[in-house]
Amino acid sequence: MKKFLAMFLIGALAALSFSGCSKTQESSSAAGETTKAADKASGDLVVVGFSQVGAESDWRTANTESMKSTFTEANGYSLIFDDAQQKQENQIKAIRNFIQQDVDYIVLAPVTETGWDTVLKEAKDAGIPVIIVDRMIKVSDDSLFTAWVGSNFEKEGTDAANWLADYLKQKGKDSEDVNIVTLQGTIGSSAQIGRTNGFNKVAKEHSNWKILAQQTGEFTQAKGQEVMESFLKSYPDIDVVVAENDNMAFGAIDAIKAAGKTCGPNGDITIISFDAVSAAFDAMEAGDINVDIECNPLHGPRVAEIIKKLEAGEKVEKLQYVAEGIFPAETAAKDRVGRAY
């Protein structure tokens, strides 16, 4: 009898653990999210929790696509993707979720530079490496993140201003007054801080450059248009618009045209933009944007490279800057050939 009971119990336990296992796998695929425990059972996928800023721009869409197409199961990863809708509090929540799920790596595209110390300390205490991508963070302790990969935003800003200086010189306008407005990105993001500071630094060296106003358009087309409309009302004599991303430039172009003005190489207002997404090349070819300072969003493979090295126990470079170009309208048709975004 005892023997029978023991055999029954073993059988029941085996059945339970079998159904438990398949249940985990079923629910993980149904939810589209996978727990680390389930992955270990289903073949050692590396679990990556990615907190994305949002979906505010074409750049961001290309960046999300790059991450999603890199961190696939076929490539050995299970990606937990979270869209924070441009809110830091959502990113902090997502990171806490990732910690709870005991992911292998946390990847963070931070909306702003500051405010990360507490939550990243929690990740560190949980022993989860954090990789920062795109924008930078400012933390009191550098060991709170393992590596960062992204752009030199200040260089992008100085590149934009140096292009303007050369352009004005070529046109013989380098001693005339130049009225400039800036549509800034999300205030406190390193893309905004770097581009604004880089441009302003060079602007200070030109006493004829007047920066009339600098205001955020939140990196979106709608807000860019709205702010540009108000700039046009307040300042009837704008010569240059610096749009800290392409989507705000698209909004600004709409506002300029609606106000009965023209822009681009043959227009009233010079447009300088950042990112160089595909639609911006269209705008350059259409004669609406003068120049675009490249910002590369294809970070998926770069982050994967970092993770591969960490998995192999190798050292990684702490800060990795991506090399980027400058695309004037005159050569846009040629420059865009072969670009992936």
> How far apart are CB 244 and ligand GYE at their closest, in Å?
7
Nearer to ligand GYE, 56 or 113 (CB): 56
Stretch that binds ligand GYE, among 53-61, 75-83, 224-232, 321-329 (CB under 6 A): 53-61
How many angstroms separate the CA atoms of 134 and 113, rounded? 11
Of the candidate residues 39, 45, 47, 56, the single one contacting ligand GYE (CB under 6 A): 56
> How far apart are CB 168 and ligand GYE at their closest, in Å?
25
245 part of the interface to ligand GYE, by CB under 6 A: yes
Stretch that binds ligand GYE, among 52-60, 125-133, 161-169, 257-265 (CB under 6 A): 52-60
Nearest to 133 by CA among 24, 221, 50: 50
Letter string b/e over residues 43-73, b meaning 16 or more CB atoms within 10 A of that residue's CB: eebbbbbbbbbbebbbbbebbbebbeebbee
How many angstroms separate the CA atoms of 205 and 195, rounded? 16
SS (H, E, C) the chain: CHHHHHHHHHHHHHHHHHHHHHHHHHHHHHHCCCCHHHHHHCCCCEEEEEEECCCCCHHHHHHHHHHHHHCCCCCCEEEEEEECCCCHHHHHHHHHHHHHCCCCEEEECCCCCCCCHHHHHHHHHCCCCEEEECCCCCCCCHHHCCEEEECCHHHHHHHHHHHHHHHHHHCCCCCCCEEEEEEECCCCCHHHHHHHHHHHHHHHCCCCEEEEEEEECCCCHHHHHHHHHHHHHHCCCCCEEEECCHHHHHHHHHHHHHCCCCECCCCCEEEEEEECCHHHHHHHHCCCCCEEEECCCCCHHHHHHHHHHHHCCCCCCCEEECCCCEEEHHHHHHHCCCCCC
Nearer to ligand GYE, 59 or 231 (CB): 59
Nearest to 80 by CA among 39, 125, 46, 34: 34
Nearer to ligand GYE, 132 or 178 (CB): 132
135 part of the interface to ligand GYE, by CB under 6 A: yes
Interacting positions 208-237 with ligand GYE (CB under 6 A): 219
> How far apart are CB 192 and ligand GYE at their closest, in Å?
8
Of the candidate residues 105, 145, 167, 274, the single one contacting ligand GYE (CB under 6 A): 274
> How far apart are CB 56 and ligand GYE at their closest, in Å?
5
Nearer to ligand GYE, 60 or 302 (CB): 60
275 part of the interface to ligand GYE, by CB under 6 A: yes
Interacting positions 182-211 with ligand GYE (CB under 6 A): 191
302 part of the interface to ligand GYE, by CB under 6 A: no
Stretch that binds ligand GYE, among 55-63, 138-146, 170-178, 208-216 (CB under 6 A): 55-63
60 part of the interface to ligand GYE, by CB under 6 A: yes
59 part of the interface to ligand GYE, by CB under 6 A: yes
Of the candidate residues 33, 39, 134, 335, the single one contacting ligand GYE (CB under 6 A): 134
148 part of the interface to ligand GYE, by CB under 6 A: no
295 part of the interface to ligand GYE, by CB under 6 A: yes
Stretch that binds ligand GYE, among 28-36, 51-59, 64-72, 224-232 (CB under 6 A): 51-59
> How far apart are CB 193 and ligand GYE at their closest, in Å?
11
- Binding positions for ligand GYE, rule: CB under 6 A: 56-57, 59-60, 134-135, 191, 219, 245, 274-275, 295
